[in-house]
Amino acid sequence: MSKEVDKKHITGGETDGGITSSYATNDGVKLKVPYSFMGSIYGEEEEQAVLAAMKQDTLTMGPKTAEFQDKFAKLCDVKHALAVSNCTTGMHVATQLFDIKKGDEVIVTPNTFIATSLVILKEGGIPVYADIDPRTYNIDPASVAKLITPKTKAIYVVHYGGLMVDMDPIMEIARKHNLYVLEDCAHAHTAEYKGRKAGSIGDVGVFSFHSLKNMTTCGEGGMITTNNDEFAKGIEMLRCMNLTHWKPEDHRWQFGNIACEKKSDLDYWLPSHFDVDDWNGHWGNNYRMNEIQAAVGCCQVDKAKMLTDKRREIGHKITAGLQDITGITPVFEPEECKHVFHLYTLCVEEEELGASRDEFMRVLYKEEGIQGILHYQPTYHFTGLKKMGYDQNQCPNANAFFYKRELNLPMHPKLTDDAIKTMVAGIRRAAEKVRR
């Protein structure tokens, strides 16, 4: 590797993962509060857990994975939690569980990472985009209801930024039309809606442990939650190449000269160590989690309350500091919800501020040293979706949100009071500057 390439990777200006691994720009702007790519807190607990896991005989899907799954199920108040390699693969497994096939329609929000639609597209399904609520930025149940057709098979909701979707009307729609519901909980570890945890209301919930998330397992990782016993069996197979156990007790087996009626009559290696079968016509993949990630995950579950409390404290301090700034809308938190502030999304109201979001963001970044980023460009605006003929103006709230209103402030549990005060002061000054 050349010195130039070496430096590129060290600085983070350009990385192999692009936007999934760094927000560094290296453009000479002196930042007072940069956007951090580490969404959690690691300490000696995680370090010791990693070293201990490395000394095990098994390094994948072993005792730490089982422990992590058990802890996470309790954290989410669900019967089953099953670890996977990341949130995207978890949602792909769920899409196969729901038997989404070519031509099936799945209603989904456009205000999400591409992964939520990608897993539908991979199975030949058709993402159908419902607009968002302009106050919560979550999928609008009223918009969902208008999009139901005989081809609709599921609804995929995303708890954007750490605020849960209004789930009661979503579940009512699903029950009325016999639809599956997937909760994309990538932003919503320990979030609550009317006292119920994220990942416990829909048919399946899927969580992310990517570097940016409220809990992280060495940069990647995911978890599928469900209260459906049959789905849990399917998840176990589809995340691990459709492996299952031979069941000689169900048949009379003949192996060479050995005839038996039940498995107990066989040596442990007969007929072989595993069987392979389809799940409802679907074939899985290798979506396993390794033991080092799971060991870190166990520590992160132990810290979950502390991590959530820190984020909520920081989020509420920012909100308090942004009150009464004309043209600036802070985060909205409904009384029935527990917001976990994966993102802090500030909205610029152009007519009230007297300047555009981009003008405000430019001053905030270049003159005040506060690095904001944007989440998420409406999914149907990506080139691959444009080729499929999607109406580019179909969700006016989502379009206005991304292109005219929103920006995400630095938000992670290590933000200091000084950093929070710097951000709030910078936002106030930037608003005054662009207003003048």
Q: What is the pLDDT of residues 195-247, one digit of tens each?
A: 999 999 999 999 999 999 999 999 999 999 999 999 999 999 999 999 998 77
DSSP string, 56-84: SS--BSSHHHHHHHHHHHHHHT-SEEEEE
Q: 44-242+280-302: which CATH architecture?
A: 3-Layer(aba) Sandwich (3.40)
For 409, phi then psi, to 5°, come to -80, 160
Q: 3-38+304-435: which CATH architecture?
A: Alpha-Beta Complex (3.90)
Tokens of 432: 């005054």
DSSP string, 139-195: B-HHHHHHT--TTEEEEEEE-GGG----HHHHHHHHHHHT-EEEEE-TT-TT-EETT
Cα–Cα dist 263/265, whole Å: 5
Residues 362-393 have pLDDT tens digits of: 999 999 999 999 999 999 999 999 999 999 99
Tokens of 361: 């963001």
- By CB atoms closer than 10 A (0-12, 13-18, 19+), residue 245 is exposed
CB 121 within 8 A of CB 129: no
Cα–Cα dist 328/431, whole Å: 8
- Closest residue by Cα to residue 163 from 382, 343, 293: 343
Residues 83-117 have pLDDT tens digits of: 999 999 999 999 999 999 999 999 999 999 999 99
Cα–Cα dist 30/10, whole Å: 18
Tokens of 418: 């000084």
- pLDDT score of 13 more than 60: no
CB 201 within 8 A of CB 183: yes
Q: How confident is the model at residue 2 (pLDDT cuts 50, 70, 90)?
A: very low
Domains of the chain, by residue range, sit at 3-38+304-435, 44-242+280-302, 243-276
Say whether 433 sits in a helix, a strand or coil.
helix
